[in-house]
Amino acid sequence: MAVLACSCARGEDFWAEFWWMDQGYRWVFFHDEAGETYAEQITHCPGCARSLERKNMRTVSSLLR
């Protein structure tokens, strides 16, 4: 699990997990305030509407040791 920030001007923080989906691993993003329910998975930044992709984000902190 890691905390990542969008590279847009708002730079909102998201928490991300690396999940096995279909036949490979993918980053899955969550934002406590963006969904209708707590910790709902999201696919786009609420600030800039850009699709969330790990390569376009910066690391805020890593919760793994």
Residue 12 lies inside a defined structural domain of this protein: yes
Residue 13 lies inside a defined structural domain of this protein: yes
pLDDT at 47: 85
Residue 24: in which H helix or E strand, if any?
A: strand 24-30
- What confidence tens digit (pLDDT) does each residue in 4-50 have? 888 888 878 888 888 998 889 999 998 776 555 556 788 998 888 98
Tally the domains of the chain. Answer: 1
Residue 43 lies inside a defined structural domain of this protein: yes
Backbone φ and ψ of 53, nearest 5° = -135, 140
Residue 49 identity (one-letter amino acid)? A
Residues spanned by the domain of 22 = 2-60
Residue 65 lies inside a defined structural domain of this protein: no
Residue 37 lies inside a defined structural domain of this protein: yes
Residue 55 lies inside a defined structural domain of this protein: yes
pLDDT at 62: 62
